A and B are shown apart, each in its own frame.
Chain A
């Protein structure tokens, strides 16, 4: 069965947990969290996190799982996040031994079966920008495990914004990664969509699928290329979330809708948290 779709039955607030490693630079933070209760974690899924015991800010922060590692009876999960506001500033203060308020695993996963294909596998093109890249790491691992040809297109403002570059290089090898930075400090200068477009041209109609996560303008550009080259694309979206499990309805995204003839409504709002975060680009009403 494809795991793409709603997977709410594995949502657990794992209260017994502990930070085992943490670190931060000026812009990014890293957490390795040990969960006493191993929970299923699929590529593209996320957790809601907050430093335990703090009152402000109130809301937990949505964070994509980067990697996971089974540690005997326990499960270690890792996160890389951008330090942007009060919530992530509090998370950056976390040290080994600290606890978090944790809820996971949330959201759907990438449709990996699509890449596997019915007859021949598609080439998987992973396109990630900035702090979107952690959300495709486990996807890359899974694609490799299934022997699906995989390439990564990694973009960022500067060299330091290419999150997880070393881990991706160790996993995929340098020759399967194309980097682009806006300031030219690493890889080619410009946007990541340039090497992506060259690859789409080179494919010359061979079956491929795009899996992408990153800032909105990048996702829009990726969707446009996917359309132009007729390659299906799955995009993992980000949205402000109050709860992460579907009740606040704050993380709305407009999705195309087959409407009755007498209706002027060509879209409905779906929830990034429980209907997504992964959507086919063709579904989105942009």
Chain B
């Protein structure tokens, strides 16, 4: 039987060693502790927390979620307890687990990003930051940072200056050229990229003729977006040298392998946590079995091994 400390599954990203490449995605596992009753957090490679801002956020009015074919739309509105409460109330308990803690961070201005990072810098036991520059849910009075290579680079550069820990920038699929944004963010100093965030979508109730989400549009997640995500990882892996973390509809070992072969050094399980909380655990076991069966010394041998003629 394989276990979480199996060295075959160890990966290193931005100088941080992860026991395995399976993380839970931001917004799908609360602050990590919310999953502790259901899964063994020690068996996870990493945990990306719910997006944290400098100040607590109330979030959007309901309805906030709607199920669609192969996925769901959400417009939660980044409801969160705030970086300060995370450091004070969640982190001390969370860091008792043998996993890597990656707070997801967002803001509406560069100053707000910096403010959130400065609060988190005071917390002990954080291994890296994941920067949400692409959440499509919140009206920031304009385009999101992720939609423009220069804006994405600007926020990355500013955060890098404020952060003592590695910075993983989470990319949006809602762009024309994901490779161009990836290159800009790499040049600005990003230590790694995670991709993808949700794809903007919409659903309408045909009886009331109203949008089914109070926010009108929301982020599409789940297996429905997986092919888009694999394509984005593949394109980014050709564009940058920094490590990639794959996200988007991953629910099984096969899904995870597809992302790794496309170029991801690690993966995040998201929406699957909702309907199968043990999905991440099964993937950890499944990856170890795959390595064994295929005679791989390390999962790293698979990263970016896609065969393209």
Contact = CB atoms under 8 A, between A and B. Distances in A.
B275 A11 contact: no
A248 B65 contact: yes
Contacts of A248: 27-28, 65, 74, 76, 274
Given A59-B275, A253-B62, A247 B70 contact: no
A246 B34 contact: yes
Interface in A1-43: 8-9, 11, 13
A56 B71 CA distance: 9
Contacts of B38: 11, 13, 103, 245
Interface of A: 8-9, 11, 13, 50, 55-60, 87, 101, 103, 239-243, 245-254, 265, 267-269
B277 interface: yes
A252 B60 CA distance: 9
A12 to B, nearest CB: 9
Nearest to A274: B34
Given A58-B274, A247-B28, A249-B59, 13 more contacts: A55-B223, A58-B223, A58-B275, A101-B276, A240-B62, A240-B66, A242-B65, A246-B30, A247-B29, A247-B34, A251-B64, A252-B76, A268-B58
B276 to A, nearest CB: 7
Given A58-B71, A245-B38, A265-B58, A252 B276 contact: no
Interface in B23-72: 27-30, 34-35, 37-38, 50, 58-67, 69-72
B65 A9 contact: no
A246 B30 CA distance: 7
Contacts of A101: 275-276
Interface of B: 27-30, 34-35, 37-38, 50, 58-67, 69-72, 74, 76, 79, 222-223, 271, 273-278
Contact of A103 (B61, B63, B223, B277): B277
Contacts of B223: 55, 58
Contact of A57 (B28, B59, B60, B67): B67
A240 B275 contact: no
A250 B137 CA distance: 13
Contact of A247 (B58, B59, B63, B273): B273
B72 A58 contact: yes
A9 B37 contact: yes
Contact of A8 (B37, B65, B67): B37
B79 A249 contact: yes
B58 A250 contact: no
Contacts of A267: 58
Contact of A269 (B66, B70, B79): B79
Contacts of B50: 249
30 contacts: A8-B37, A9-B37, A13-B277, A56-B69, A58-B67, A58-B70, A58-B275, A101-B276, A103-B277, A240-B63, A240-B64, A240-B67, A241-B65, A242-B65, A243-B273, A243-B277, A245-B38, A247-B30, A247-B34, A247-B35, A247-B274, A249-B64, A250-B74, A251-B62, A251-B65, A252-B60, A252-B61, A252-B62, A252-B79, A265-B58
B186 to A, nearest CB: 31
Nearest to A239: B62
Contacts of A240: 62-67
A50 B275 contact: yes
A253 to B, nearest CB: 7
B159 to A, nearest CB: 25
Contacts of B76: 248-250, 252
B7 to A, nearest CB: 30
